[in-house]
A and B are shown apart, each in its own frame.
Chain A
Amino acid sequence: MIQVFTSVNFDWLAWRKVFIAISVTLMLAGLASALFRQWKHPNGTEAFNLGVDFKGGTVVTARFKQPPTAEVIRAVLAKQSAQDAIIQPVTDKPDTFLIKLPLKGTGEGESAAEVEAGGRTVRQSLNALGPEGDAFEVIGTDFVGAVAGAQLRNKAVAVTLAALVGILMYIAFRFEWTYGAAAVIAVFHDVLVTFGFFSIFQWEVSLTVIAAMLTLVGFSVNDTIVVFDRIRENRRLHRRDSLYKITNDSINQTLSRTVITNGLVFLSVLSMVLFGGEVLRGFSLALLIGVTFGTYSSVAIASPIMVWWEQRLEAANRAATLAGRPVPSGGRPSRDLQRTPASSPGMGKESRRAGRA
């Protein structure tokens, strides 16, 4: 049998300060980039390079018989007073270009008219290179008004937050609310770090990037749950062990699964980055970073936070007991115990919970 990790015995939690320092640094770097770009606009950049989907504007995808250089296209566009056009070659298809016209006007009716005119301008300009259908072919267009763009943006953010609340509630229901909170914090971290990369490298944020963020939310939580599930199981089996030890053991026990699954997912996402074409590029890039940090965060962020939180609750509980407050006999029995009526109650776990009510 081929085996990657058989008996790992690594003290993950001992490194928690390092992990958290790394994560905070990454998040701060992203935040700094976003703030700096928002205020100073170096080279005309903004916090995020929002695509036409969110900002409004025009994108024309054109395929040329004899592909000109980006400079030639820029020159013919400039003649039609479209100097601010962004010309983006499609990496895997040298004859295809994306021509983007960002939106200038902000008023509702104004922007709609401008976007419509933008498409015509691009077509007219390209006619200078030869007649449409002969020298070039418009194979796709996207015109988005400012209002529609803002709507899409708000909706995407609202849907993501709603999904996170749904996840929090489910985990709180299946585990404990501390587990749920730790998982959601870890997911938040992944999303922030990924967005940080998008700000630093000024990759375009399109609607598909939002879809990727939502996928990464799912994946990251998925990973975290696998570890938490093991912790829940081990707590039942090894009642005398400390939460610290149990958590470390659980991470180590699930490590081979973590590496195999995430390695496979990483590679299939990589195949999307390499072969998925231009349209999926933003999606796969976001996911590639997301999968990496999602794996990292379930080990390095979610578990330490959960342990820290549970330990604090335990300490508070102990302090309350020492202070002479009677432990309420009818204290909320833990859900784990309810689910396994066969197990014998009253082995340390109960006292941890008891003072909480």
Chain B
Amino acid sequence: MKKKNLLQRSIIIAVVTVLGLYIVIGPRHRPTLRDFTWAGIKASMASNIRLGLDLKGGSHLVMRVKTDAFLNELTQGNRAAIESAAKEAGLAPKEVRANTSGDNYSITLETTDASKLPEIEEAVKKKVDLGEWSVSRSGNTITWTLPPSAQRMLAEQATEQADRIIRSRLDAVGVAEPLVQRHGAQSAHQILVQMPGIQDPERVKQLLKAESKLELVHVVSPPQPSSVQTYNTEQEALASLGGTVSADKRVLPYAERDEPTAGGRAPTEPPKEKKWVVVDLPAIVDGSELRNASAVQTRGGAEEYAIAFSLKPAGAEKFGAWTGAHINEYMGVVLNDEVKSIAYIKSQIFDQGEISGRFSKQSAEDLALTLRSGALPAPIEYQEERTVGPSLGADSIRAGVKASVYGLLFVVGFMLFYYRGSGVNAVVALILNMILMLAGLIIFGATLTLPGIAGIILTIGMAVDSNVLIFERIREEIRTGKTIPSAVDQGFARAFVTIIDTHVTTIISSLFLFVFGTGPLRGFAVTLVLGLVVNLFSAVYVSRTIFIWLLSRKQQRVESLSI
């Protein structure tokens, strides 16, 4: 019975240890002989453990999206749109005012003739998208108000949008492995950007803040139904212009969109080759004229999507005139000098328009997003910026490792001195604890930060506490005159209750840190929680198994225990 139990325990421990050890020091590719040399193990460990910015160096930026400025601009834009819509309908209002004081955003239209109000409201409804606004009429005024819930929603959308713009811009800049995520409370509208390896974030900061360039252009091509004229190389495109680019033409790269699959799923094949097109200068309208864009389902096919966009009044006038004259010709959407999509003009487009093309839901949404992301929805402001040079990070690693190793060596020395033979148990448990904790970090993809190293050092403390509790208890039981096996049994059983209580309380407080804390608090909580959970296995289960083995080795009654 005891033997079988021991075998089962040994197998579990062996499997967990080997697995943990492999996760920590093993390579992620098919292992070669080289991976088991000291240098190979070091390299594998370095690539397995994800280091935080404070250890590997890089920049950490927290920015706030000024959503109040966004709502303000939205209100002003709508005010202008309402005014021109009313004028167009031949119902010139006396005055259209925008009110953006405090947290209130409203637009008031005043006329001299109250009987015209329903007509005006109807006219405005047709021309201006005011879905989120609530309308009220009193006397000879109409007031559109943005309710708080809609304010929150729009502010949230603006932040979400800024988040995506920042992502795509970071991609464009070529920052390796950037981390972009929402930060703090939802209502704080903050975005955290971490850029490993970037030491002087000034350039990136300016780029993130910069306005981006969006244009709608005429693509030089035979009209629909023949497909759009593209060229495989820049030279070919130039050749079509006779070798030189005239002042009113431009050659631009074109990353062609994938066609949607029948089921509406995203295409699985890799993106197609880059092509080139020739476009007319100047652009028909540019991003400054864009008011909104969104993906919409076309009436025809269930799985076909188009992009609906709306322009500001001035842009709409220009665009309407141009599109009316160029039905069936091709129009391109250009973002930062790259053609993102080409579509043909079905009918004259004014304020509201659609870019059709057989878009899947995903690609239509993406495109609408890029359209909207032409410019940041609202100005952003940097609230926190931290940079760590690689040398400072390396210093911190060295200091942290040094402190951990000294702490560990000291503890090991003491345990061996004080508990003699049983001290070996504690040492085995401690080392296993370290290995499994690192394995846990890797499995959960958590990052190891400087406070994380502090958490490891504290785990050493808690781990050794468990052993001390158990050993002291066993000694006590031996003193009361129990036999060695029953003293060990009792010692573990009694100490276990205490260990569970102490571990659970610390895990509870660490969980609060992990869930609600930010940055450093989190890094600390991660290693501490992992270390404590692992400790229940290493300090209790493994240590107990070693005792069982020790006691079962001697056939006769055990008279003494090295403790």
Contact = CB atoms under 8 A, between A and B. Distances in A.
Interface string B61-85: 0101000000000000000000000
Contact of B461 (A108, A116, A257, A268): A268
Interface string A91-112: 0110000000000000011001
A144 B498 contact: no
A3 B74 CA distance: 76
Nearest to A113: B381
Nearest to B205: A116
A211 B451 contact: yes
B517 A170 contact: no
A145 B383 CA distance: 5
Interface string B508-524: 11111100111111001
A271 to B, nearest CB: 4
Interface in B458-513: 458, 460-462, 464-465, 468-469, 472, 475-476, 479, 494, 497-498, 501-502, 504-506, 508-513
B418 A167 contact: no
Interface stretch (B128-136, B357-365, B399-407): B399-407
Contacts of B513: 159, 163, 211, 214
B386 interface: yes
Interface in A203-258: 207-208, 210-212, 214-215, 217-219, 221-222, 225-226, 229-230, 233, 253-254, 256-257
A142 B388 CA distance: 9
A140 B392 contact: yes
A205 B323 CA distance: 64
A277 B389 contact: no
B422 to A, nearest CB: 10
Contacts of A226: 469, 498, 502
Interface residues of A, number: 77
A6 B417 CA distance: 17
B563 interface: yes
Looking at B457, B494, B516, which has the most chain A CB atoms within 10 Å of its CB?
B457
Given A261-B464, A272-B454, A276-B400, A142 B406 contact: no
A147 interface: yes
Q: Is the interface of A mostly helix, strand, loop or mixed?
A: helix
Contact of B524 (A147, A215, A276): A215
Contact of B402 (A63, A108, A275): A275
A272 B476 CA distance: 33
A207 B62 CA distance: 16
A280 interface: yes
Q: Is the interface of B mostly helix, strand, loop or mixed?
A: helix
A151 B184 contact: yes
A226 B469 CA distance: 9
A261 B498 CA distance: 14
A264 B469 CA distance: 13
A230 to B, nearest CB: 8
Nearest to A137: B389
A280 B410 CA distance: 20
A143 interface: yes
B188 interface: yes
A161 to B, nearest CB: 9
B539 to A, nearest CB: 12
19 contacts: A1-B475, A6-B479, A61-B392, A108-B381, A112-B382, A115-B385, A137-B389, A139-B388, A140-B392, A142-B385, A145-B382, A162-B512, A211-B513, A218-B506, A218-B510, A221-B509, A233-B494, A271-B406, A279-B54
- Nearest 9 interchain pairs by C-beta: A277-B399, A268-B407, A139-B389, A163-B509, A265-B461, A218-B506, A163-B512, A148-B383, A145-B383
Given A3-B475, A143-B385, 4 more contacts: A257-B469, A264-B414, A264-B468, A275-B402
